[in-house]
Amino acid sequence: MFDFSGYVQSYLNTLPLLLIVVSLYWTVMVGAPWLPSSMKTVHQMMKLAEVKPDDVVYDLGCGDGRIVLIASMCYHARAVGIEIDPLRYLWCQLLVTIFFQRKRVRIIFGNIFKQDLGKADVIMCYLMPGALQKLETKFKQELRPGTRVVSNKFAFPTLIKIREDENSRLYLVHSDDGK
């Protein structure tokens, strides 16, 4: 009789690796895979946007929550993170609780394209160019004049850049370009 045990064993060996890869990268289909911004870049993004204590900072696709936690703990802003991956969402919730940031940081489980962004003073993102293109229309409809948008690495196609550093770019929505 044909012996399947070899196949079963190699399947069981590769399954955990496959699950890890899928859980890290499936979100490439909806905006970006998980690749955290370095801590240095997070602080540079905060400085580029001049985040202040009365700001509400949104991170679109908040990953492990580092941007919203740094915004709250180091820059004393309020912060909202939106994340579509359930494991990363739960991890963020855990960190927000462990670091006693529940009063100032809110994590939303959902799709950034379906959330209202109108209360943001600052928007941070590290997303693929296709997602940035889609977001531009949403920004123009929802964001208040003067909302600062910082994108790590990738550029928005038509928003006019105000400043940049080695990694990120700052945009002002509804500035003269903006409409």
Query: Which spans of this chain sit near ligand SAM (rule: CB under 6 A)?
Result: 27, 30-32, 34-37, 59, 61-63, 66-67, 82-85, 88, 111-113, 126, 152
Q: Which residue is nearest to ligand SAM (CB)?
A: 61
State the amino acid at position 124 in one-letter form: M
Q: In the complex with ligand SAM, which residue's Cβ is closer, 8 or 39? A: 39
Distance CA 104, CA 69 (A): 9
CB of 62 to ligand SAM, least distance (A): 5
Q: Which is nearer to ligand SAM, 147 or 152 (CB)?
A: 152
What φ, ψ does residue 106 adopt, rounded to 5°?
A: -120, 135
- Taking the complex as a whole, the smallest distance from the CB of residue 51 to ligand SAM amounts, in Å, to 14
Start-to-end CA span in the chain (Å): 71
Q: How many Cβ atoms from other residues are within 10 Å of residue 117's Cβ?
A: 22
CB of residue 168 to ligand SAM, shortest distance in Å: 10
Longest pairwise C-alpha distance within the chain: 75
Closer residue to ligand SAM in complex, CB, 27/44: 27
Contact 42, 66 (CB under 8 A): yes
Whichever of 34 and 156 has its CB closer to ligand SAM, that residue is 34
Task: State which residue, 40 or 119, has the beta carbon closest to ligand SAM.
Answer: 40
Closest distance to ligand SAM from the beta carbon of 75 (Å): 15
What's the rounded Cα separation, in Å, for the pair 140 and 138? Answer: 5
Element (H, E) at 82: strand 78-83
Task: Give least dist CB 61 to ligand SAM, A.
Answer: 2
